[in-house]
Copies of this chain bind each other. A is one copy, B any other.
Amino acid sequence: MNVQIAEDIRTVDRMLNLWIPKESAKPATIHRAMRYSIFAGGKRMRPVLCLAAARTCEIRRAADALPAACAVECVHTYSLIHDDLPCMDDDDIRRGRPTSHKVFGEGIAVLAGDALLTVAFEILARMKPTPRYSAADYVTELSRAAGSRNLVGGQVADLEGEKKSCSSSDLRFIHRGKTAAMIIASLKLGAMAANATPRTLGIMEEFGDNLGLAFQVIDDILDVTQSSEKLGKSAGKDAAAGKTTYPALLGLEASQKEAARLTEKALAVLSPLGERAVTLRELAGKLLARQS
Is the C-beta of A282 less than 8 angstroms from some C-beta in chain B?
no
**Contact of A124 with B111 at beta-carbon distance under 8 Å, contacts A30-B152, A118-B152, A146-B118 already known:** no
Beyond contacts A88-B107, A113-B114, A122-B143: 4 other A-B pairs, Cβ-Cβ < 8 A, are A78-B114, A85-B110, A88-B110, A111-B155
Stretch at the interface among A19-27, A55-63, A241-249: A19-27
Is the CB–CB distance between A153 and B26 below 8 Å? yes
Is A31 interfacial (CB-CB < 8 Å)?
Answer: yes
Docked complex Cα distance between A126 and B181 (Å): 21
Q: How far is the CB of A28 from chain B (nearest CB, A)?
A: 9
Interface centre among A34, A88, A126, A148, by most chain B C-beta atoms within 10 angstroms, is A148
Q: How many copies does the complex hold?
A: 2
Asked if A15 is an interface residue, CB under 8 A from chain B, the answer is no
Within 8 A of B (CB), among A78-129: 78, 82, 85, 87-88, 105-108, 110-111, 113-115, 117-119, 121-122, 124-127, 129
**Neighbouring B residues of A143 by C-beta, 8 Å:** 118-119, 121-122, 125
Name the distance in Å between A189's Cβ and chain B's nearest Cβ. Answer: 13
